[in-house]
Structure 1
Amino acid sequence: MDIPVFILAGLLVHCVFLVSIFDIYFSSPLVHGMTPQQTSLPPPAKRLVLFVADGLRADSLYELDSNGTARAPYLRVLENNGSWGISHTRVPTESRPGHVALIAGFYEDVSAVAKGWKENPVEFDSVFNESKYTWSWGSPDILPMFAKGATGDHVYTFCYAAESEDFGAEDAAKLDMWVFDHVKSFFNSSRNNQTLFSALNEEKVVLFLHLLGIDTNGHAHRPNSREYQENIKQVDEGVKEIASLIDNFYGNDGKTAFILTSDHGMTDWGSHGAGHPSETLTPLIVWGAGVNYPQKVTTQFFEDNFLKEWKLENLKRLDVNQADIAPLMASLIGVPFPLNSVGTLPLEYLNTSALFKAESMFTNAVQILEQFKVKMMSVKTIMLLEYFVCLQVSLCKTLINLALEGLSYYHTYDRLFLGLSIAVSFVGWTTYVILVIIKAHTNLTKTVPTNKKKSTVLFYGFASAGMIITFFLLIQTCPWTYYIYCLLPVPVWYAVVKEIPVIQDLATNVLSLHIGQSAGFLLVCILGIEILVFSFFYRSALTVGLLVFAGWPVITQLWIQAKVLYSLIWTLLCVLLAIFPLMPVVGREPNIPLVIAAGLLTILISFFSLASLCKSENKYRDNEDLKIFSVALSTYVVGSTHNSLKIKQGLPVMNQIISWMTLVFSPALLLLSPTFLFERLFSILLSLMSTYLLLSTGYEALFPLALFGLMFVWINMEQEALQHYGLSLKPKVTLAVFNFTCTMDITQFRQLHLDDVRRSFFFVSFGWLYVMSFSCFSSFDPASVYCFLTVFSPFMMGGLLLLKVAIPFVLVSCAFEAVQVTTQLSSKSLFLIVLVISDIMALHFFFLVKDYGSWLDIGTSISHYVLVMSLTIFMMVMNGLAQLLTTRRLGLPRRNKHHSM
């Protein structure tokens, strides 16, 4: 197969592999076309007021201060006048899915991955949509998504500017004060607006107050901070004022129901997203019309043992699942249950007649049954209708559980055969690439003439199989994407089967080789890949792998031939890097002195290195002085910025300008240095380090220095490894004077050796070392980008964090480029080996993709698969970038390449 055709085919196949998980695992479970279900009996309340204190932990609200007084005295009193408990949130514990669960009654729609988790891509019903009118105040990130999906013009939103969500602000409680002040102004203005006044006096009215201050203060200052706890007191006072205002406005008619809860909690270190109890246990206090008074109890047991600590052991605690709050709100004001709700009405919160409870529970059951029927009919066109008669509440609950199981069954109906199709394609493609490597880049096979008759029979055989598969898909009226996934194995395995003569020839030649040595090497490769996969879940596996790497010179006896100093430094640096995966990722506090120490250490190393590298080129020395100054400036900006934020003076404008200028101009600065191997690599380190320091908050700032040292030794060790395995180079490479701008005649490329698999594996391992050691998908720490911005901007912040991850990979790619050109290897051969390694890893992660659980679970499973699947394209980009960074020099005339070693 021609190289351009092969590359195009490879890209297309991997694009199909990549996209397939979104059809197989991440289609939306939401269905449409259900009939709204509503209780016919009159509801106990005419209106509902929903307070959502974003990021409020249950223990932070319920616990007493150190002096034994309530942190939220008004809400504490309400526990004696209403019902209280814990709302158990389901991961991912994030604002958007939390509010959707509260107001629409269903949990995270995993198809939102296509929208970057920013919004739900499928329209959905909510309590707000079913209401007569809804007015809401708060964040522009939350409110619009409920107005967007509402039918008609009855859901009104009042949002503050997005720039107000500033993590570097003096106190984020102003966000909550904005909401309270605007609600007060709203009711005051309604007295002079007859249209608004009439609308407010309608039935089925909802008032929603989204309070983001606690969450923002928690991110910026941590939940145990004075700012977070003071914000709770301010919210408590604000809720008291709003409740009093509303009661007075309606003449204390006793027809208002109030609910206070939270979308998620927060860890002690100011993050959320995963399933820690501090994130999943949120408060729920309900009072007003139709709500039960608290029940006095003598004993009650909960596994968390919080009751005694909160001094609430004598008031019955009523726990619910977060999605249960939506049917509770719908029942209180008598609106239809949200069509996609999977919540179960918590009857113990209701103070109504037994008939109303039974009717409401029956409505709840029918509403969920409607979803089951629509989902079932979307898969099966004909079915035997079943009629369920629910006379008791317990039977309704049983029906709900069965319907939910049915929803899950029909939602995953096609997953098995689609997954098998992709898995078969994976195995076939990997097999084909291995055959290409063996056929084109080794001496293990010889050219076999093509048998045209057998080729024709083979072609028609696979074509017939493709037609049969197409026929079965056609009669089932499957989506067009199913044709791609199910037909992909046909051409892939056709390409493999065509190479049967090569396989036979290979089997014959392998028998003449050292079977034990080859089998042992294969076993080591498989074990290495498994350890690499395992390290994606348990970072300590990286430590084990690096310790094995540390023993490489000893295990292979390479240290005898190589310089003892290189072998010793290799071992020490591997052991040093093995420490990083053992360091904490989630929950660590920023340690700016370590970042400053890393910057000073970089400057110190630079001065010592320049003394030996720059003996004659004064221009080069001047350029390097400029890079050293950039590192020093970045070190100062990091310390200055975080000190300014600590004393609540915000991000200094000059620091922000310097940070962005460093980000823009540092990559161009490195192109001013000579293209000699070690000079250029050191220049790349200095230029990228200035940007990396600005994105660091702790010990990770030391990582690139240790990694670069290891890469420096790796390049030298590979030269000794060539001689160790008897692979002589013509002409011989001298690293001290090697110039990246030198090119090599294609005839000088050597054939692959088993040891080249190790080189590719080293590259993959070192490349992903930073990603797997430091990246965390369960929490977002904005402190990493404080030198650039403090106003919440998820895409900008995410882009900066991705840049931080990419910088160590660039260092490794440039070192691998040096290894590749100095060992006279074809870039195509190494690319194919990396492709095989990535595909074997990707097949693991394909079966580990999850569509349930936290963002830590869902996001990690997606990112693992996407990262490994993207390795092919990413490697091509990194290879091109490494060639650019190592061979180009600004201000120099373009010259013809020559070999100077």
Structure 2
Amino acid sequence: MKVASLTVPWVQSYYVRELYTALYGLGAFWPAFYGMGFLKRNKILTATWACCCALMSVFTYLPANKVENLTLINLGGAIMFVTGVLYLLFEKSILVQSRNAEGELAKTTADPVTRSIFGFQIGLIVLAMLVTRSSVTSLQAREGLPLGTQIMGWAVLILSLVVPFLHGLRPNSYYLHRLAIIFLAFSPIFIILTISYEGLFFFAFCATLLTWVRMEHHVYAYTNCKTLQRSPEQELNPLKPAIAATQDRLASLRERDFRALTLSDARIALFFLFFLQSAFFSTGNIASISSFSLDAVYRLIPVFDPFSQGALLLLKLLVPFALISANLAILNRRLGVAPSALFMLVMAMGDVLTLRFFWSVKDEGSWLEIGTTISHFGIGSALCIFVAGLELLSEVMVKGVDFRDEKQEKMAGNGSVPNGSAKPL
């Protein structure tokens, strides 16, 4: 049984798809604007960023009305499983390499409790694939949903959200470790509650967000390094007094002090807004969650229950937004700005967008034109509230994440520049 799609025509039009593809294309070549020096220092990172943007642009061309495909579900689950296993096997080398490249502290000891919890999360991915296969086979054969399969499905769904909190027994505050936990926590959800290519989108989206966080940090470190290494010709700059005053201010920062926002931070807010839209448009449309098939929720609730089934669909829709908020919160801390500063910048841009929609509201013409303009204004107004909710969620997901060790804290207290802020990968 499928619910009829209330597709808005312009959402799936050729021009909108071309717009998203063009934006991903521009984003792929964005690091080139910093010159060949940045590209030479970050060859692997820039190549990964370009590949992630190319992968994400593919999803804008896939149909929003999906048909149940067990092969694509298993393929997405297999990629998630392999990713988790590779991280578990090479965890120490990944953290050590990242620490050496970014001048940050990463816990590299192989803690057996942490690895056991990681292994259990990876096992939940395999169990989710088996449960989904059994459910799809039984439902397609019109044999109903076995009670054991239904119980196991709910158990996997609940455990995937509860088990990550066990990492508090052996806390590791490094951001890559935290993002790996979040990825494995939401993977079973995107296996059980998916009917087609959503699992592939989940992996590509997580890879793009992680690369975006690393790219922004390296751009910030590279620009700071160029500022500190000005040539003698640049000393004749008429803005020298202002630059000197800014450097004095940065040199006088102490522990728990933060840098001021700059113009480049607006780019981060724009990227966040773009990812926010892409998280929804890449697998659906703006009409409503009714454009999604109920085949996925029948694996957990075999009888029609609009409230419970709607809640499950809404859970799957909100997972990408939770990932975006967690990555922006980590980026907020990595760049050294005040807490919630980037979120406030996003909300400010949302207010500008809302004001634009407000002046576009019509009180004459056809009912369609009037309703469309009012809907745009309502969505723009709700965006600010939605971003505020994402900020609260991000605080829970990245609580305790740190990027400097005690030695670097002492250096910051003495006015020195941490190694990680001047040494890009």
Q: TM-score, normalised by structure 2?
A: 0.74
Aligned to 1:392: none
AA partner of residue 621 (structure 1): R
Deviations 1:215-269 (A, max 9, x none): xxxx3xxxxxxxxxxxxxxxxxxxxxxxxxxxxxxxxxxxxxxxxxxxxxxxxxx
2:147 to 621, 630, 653: 653
Partner Cα separation in structure 1 for residue 375 and residue 179 of structure 2 = 30
C-alpha displacement of 1:724: 2.8
Partner Cα separation in structure 2 for residue 840 and residue 782 of structure 1 = 37
C-alpha displacement of 1:546: 1.0
Aligned to 1:726: 224
1:547 to 3, 9, 25: 25
C-alpha displacement of 1:866: 4.3
1:771 to 280, 283, 299: 280
Confirm or deny that 1:633 pairs with 2:127.
yes
Aligned to 1:838: 350
Aligned to 1:687: 185
Partner Cα separation in structure 1 for residue 6 and residue 73 of structure 2 = 27
Bigger relative contact order, structure 1 or 2, given CA contacts below 8 A and separation 6+? 2
2:39 to 546, 560, 565: 560
Confirm or deny that 1:746 pairs with 2:256.
yes
Aligned to 2:234: none
Tell me if the contact between 1:536 and 1:864 (Cα under 8 Å) persists in the aligned partners.
Answer: no
Partner Cα separation in structure 1 for residue 336 and residue 346 of structure 2 = 17
Confirm or deny that 1:757 pairs with 2:236.
no
Give the SS at the match of 1:579: helix
Partner Cα separation in structure 2 for residue 689 and residue 660 of structure 1 = 14
AA partner of residue 556 (structure 1): Y
Q: 1:632 to 1:755 in 2, by over 3 A?
A: same
AA partner of residue 660 (structure 1): W
Tell me if the contact between 1:562 and 1:717 (Cα under 8 Å) persists in the aligned partners.
Answer: no
Give the SS at the match of 1:698: coil
AA partner of residue 598 (structure 1): G
Runs of 4+ residues over 3 Å off in structure 1? 272-276, 533-537, 843-854, 860-868, 897-901
Confirm or deny that 1:794 pairs with 2:272.
no
C-alpha displacement of 1:814: 1.3
Q: Give the aligned CA root-mean-square deviation in angstroms.
A: 3.3
AA partner of residue 551 (structure 1): F
Give the SS at the match of 2:186: helix
Q: Map of 1:704-723 to 2, 5 A cutoff?
A: 704-723=202-221
Aligned to 1:605: 83
Tell me if the contact between 1:534 and 1:541 (Cα under 8 Å) persists in the aligned partners.
Answer: no
Deviations 1:549-594 (A, max 9, x none): 11111133274364100000000101110111111102x3211210
Give the SS at the match of 2:282: helix
Deviations 1:172-211 (A, max 9, x none): xxxxxxxxxxxxxxxxxxxxxxxxxxxxxxxxxxxxxxxx
Q: 1:639 to 1:573 in 2, by over 3 A?
A: same
Aligned to 2:247: none
C-alpha displacement of 1:695: 1.1
Aligned to 1:818: 330
Deviations 1:286-327 (A, max 9, x none): xxxxxxxxxxxxxxxxxxxxxxxxxxxxxxxxxxxxxxxxxx
Q: 1:841 to 1:826 in 2, by over 3 A?
A: same
Partner Cα separation in structure 1 for residue 213 and residue 13 of structure 2 = 25
Please tell me whether Structure 1 or Structure 2 has the larger radius of gyration of its CA atoms: 1
Partner Cα separation in structure 2 for residue 849 and residue 664 of structure 1 = 46
Partner Cα separation in structure 1 for residue 392 and residue 6 of structure 2 = 36
Q: 1:801 to 1:844 in 2, by over 3 A?
A: farther
Tell me if the contact between 1:768 and 1:809 (Cα under 8 Å) persists in the aligned partners.
Answer: no
Aligned to 2:4: 271
Q: 1:589 to 1:853 in 2, by over 3 A?
A: farther
Tell me if the contact between 1:561 and 1:720 (Cα under 8 Å) persists in the aligned partners.
Answer: no
Q: Map of 1:333-732 to 2, 5 A cutoff?
A: 538-557=16-35, 559-560=38-39, 562-586=41-65, 588-614=66-92, 616-673=110-167, 674-726=172-224
C-alpha displacement of 1:755: 0.7
Q: TM-score, normalised by structure 1?
A: 0.36
Partner Cα separation in structure 1 for residue 32 and residue 73 of structure 2 = 34
Partner Cα separation in structure 2 for residue 862 and residue 684 of structure 1 = 37
Q: 1:565 to 1:804 in 2, by over 3 A?
A: same
C-alpha displacement of 1:728: 9.2
Q: 1:754 to 1:728 in 2, by over 3 A?
A: same
Partner Cα separation in structure 2 for residue 763 and residue 797 of structure 1 = 29
C-alpha displacement of 1:630: 0.8
Give the SS at the match of 2:194: coil
AA partner of residue 799 (structure 1): A
Tell me if the contact between 2:332 and 2:341 (Cα under 8 Å) persists in the aligned partners.
Answer: no
C-alpha displacement of 1:786: 2.0
Q: 1:703 to 1:900 in 2, by over 3 A?
A: farther
Q: 1:799 to 1:727 in 2, by over 3 A?
A: farther
Deviations 1:522-561 (A, max 9, x none): xxxxxxxxxxx99998243222111111111113327436
**Which has more helix, going by share of residues?**
2
AA partner of residue 139 (structure 2): L
C-alpha displacement of 1:653: 1.8
Partner Cα separation in structure 2 for residue 879 and residue 873 of structure 1 = 10
Aligned-pair identity in percent equals 25
Structure 2 portions without partners, runs of 5+ = 93-108, 228-253, 409-425
Partner Cα separation in structure 2 for residue 900 and residue 662 of structure 1 = 42
Partner Cα separation in structure 2 for residue 841 and residue 665 of structure 1 = 40
AA partner of residue 315 (structure 2): L
AA partner of residue 63 (structure 2): P
C-alpha displacement of 1:827: 2.8
Tell me if the contact between 1:695 and 1:801 (Cα under 8 Å) persists in the aligned partners.
Answer: yes
AA partner of residue 779 (structure 1): S
Aligned to 1:493: none
Deviations 1:74-123 (A, max 9, x none): xxxxxxxxxxxxxxxxxxxxxxxxxxxxxxxxxxxxxxxxxxxxxxxxxx
Partner Cα separation in structure 1 for residue 398 and residue 270 of structure 2 = 22
Give the SS at the match of 1:648: coil
Q: 1:537 to 1:688 in 2, by over 3 A?
A: farther
Tell me if the contact between 1:671 and 1:885 (Cα under 8 Å) persists in the aligned partners.
Answer: no
Aligned to 1:33: none
Q: Paired residues, what number?
A: 353
Q: 1:852 to 1:804 in 2, by over 3 A?
A: farther
C-alpha displacement of 1:794: 2.0
Partner Cα separation in structure 2 for residue 799 and residue 758 of structure 1 = 34
Partner Cα separation in structure 1 for residue 49 and residue 335 of structure 2 = 19
Tell me if the contact between 2:332 and 2:340 (Cα under 8 Å) persists in the aligned partners.
Answer: no
Partner Cα separation in structure 2 for residue 884 and residue 728 of structure 1 = 36
Tell me if the contact between 1:848 and 1:861 (Cα under 8 Å) persists in the aligned partners.
Answer: yes
C-alpha displacement of 1:873: 2.6
